[in-house]
Structure 1
């Protein structure tokens, strides 16, 4: 495998509720190489989103570790982990999470402003990324003035504008019709190829999973490689 971007080792996550303990993840191992495309499929409640949150350092595991550049995320304090996320990762969710009071351009520029770029430089790069996802004519539109597909493409642009090492996407087209979902997926895959951003996508879409370099199913807290798929890239 080429250069590793993320590596999960023996991840375990147990949720406690009163006297009840539920093991959601048990000894999960996963290596994500630079520019690699990985799909994780599984039923609702199987722990797919939990795994994604752990890979992004958004939640702490009950045991195990996630390594980035050979260093454990969970040895970092919250502030350092936040800086690492801004420099290294992009996130896309089923709901776009765009800020309604800002335009598409302002929403996409925000991660760059947090990074410390000037407003002019941040908006220039944001406009370029919005152009790449087909929203050149929507820069000044607020989320409420965009269609569902346009809002999700803007969310993809925001996630990728920093050119992160890895994009973590949690059912990114779950609220879209099949045609629009296909367009959003094609955009993500094209940008993955162009800027060599790794993709880890949680999805119910078996057709998308077949387009990935590797696919896994999450059953009973364990990741299992799907070897029977024929990739159609």
Structure 2
């Protein structure tokens, strides 16, 4: 695919000819091979595939948590491979929100403090950061749980707080890795509903890794990985 066709500079997040390989016991293992895709602002997309297909590796590369063996990743019009580590970290904090299967909330902090954390990391003032965190927690239905720590929240509430944390910076793109995989089916459906609702409200691109075809079918586009290769 050509760079112009992919619209790398206009996409919320994109990659071109992306590959990732590792060496295991002296043998090269190709986890991803020549993957190209572009997700536009406001678009919802599923990365669908069986366990071991490379979908989490792709998400980590898109989010700048790992470096590709070959190819390019673009976030909000910037080429990640051209940025120094500190610049890449700032871009990740500003433009990408992450939601994982396990919430990764800090147990010693309240829901409000956890959600405000990404804003504080970028050195924003405490009061505006807490106010922004409060607003988004109210949006996800946790306005009455602001001062509760993760251990005092249900599984669904913890995942809602994780969604709030991903959105508090108003990112260009949210990357979600099996965000409903650790929840019962009813709670998982509620969290998926919430993410799609907030995607529509915020205009943020949403890329969701999943092995669940029913969940994938709710996304605007489906990109299916098989043995590290994007099916067409």
Q: Over residues 31-74 of structure 1, what are the superposed CA-to-partner deviations in whole Å (9 max), with x where a residue is unaligned?
A: 11011000011111110000000001110111011123443201
Alignment counterpart, residue 193 of structure 1, candidates 178, 187, 200: 200
What SS does the corresponding residue of 2:156 show, helix, strand or coil?
A: helix
What SS does the corresponding residue of 2:208 show, helix, strand or coil?
A: strand
Q: Report which stretch shifted further, 114-123 or 147-156.
A: 114-123
Alignment partner, residue 136 of structure 2: 129
Give me the TM-score of the superposition, normalised by structure 2: 0.94
For the 8 Å contact 1:5–1:69, the answer to whether it is kept is yes
Alignment partner, residue 219 of structure 2: 212
Q: CA deviation at 1:145?
A: 0.2
- How many angstroms apart in 2 are the aligned matches of 1:133 and 1:197? 16
For the 8 Å contact 2:52–2:227, the answer to whether it is kept is no
Moved over 4 A (4+): none
Alignment partner, residue 44 of structure 2: 37
Q: Which runs of 5+ in 2 are unaligned?
A: 1-5
Q: Over residues 68-115 of structure 1, what are the superposed CA-to-partner deviations in whole Å (9 max), with x where a residue is unaligned?
A: 344320121111100000110000001100000000000000111112
Alignment partner, residue 174 of structure 1: 181
For the 8 Å contact 1:27–1:64, the answer to whether it is kept is yes
Give me the TM-score of the superposition, normalised by structure 1: 0.94
Q: CA deviation at 1:119?
A: 1.1
Alignment partner, residue 104 of structure 1: 111
Q: CA deviation at 1:21?
A: 1.2
Matched, 1:90 2:97: yes
- How many angstroms apart in 1 are the aligned matches of 2:140 and 2:214? 21
Q: CA deviation at 1:208?
A: 1.5
Q: Which runs of 5+ in 1 are unaligned?
A: 226-233
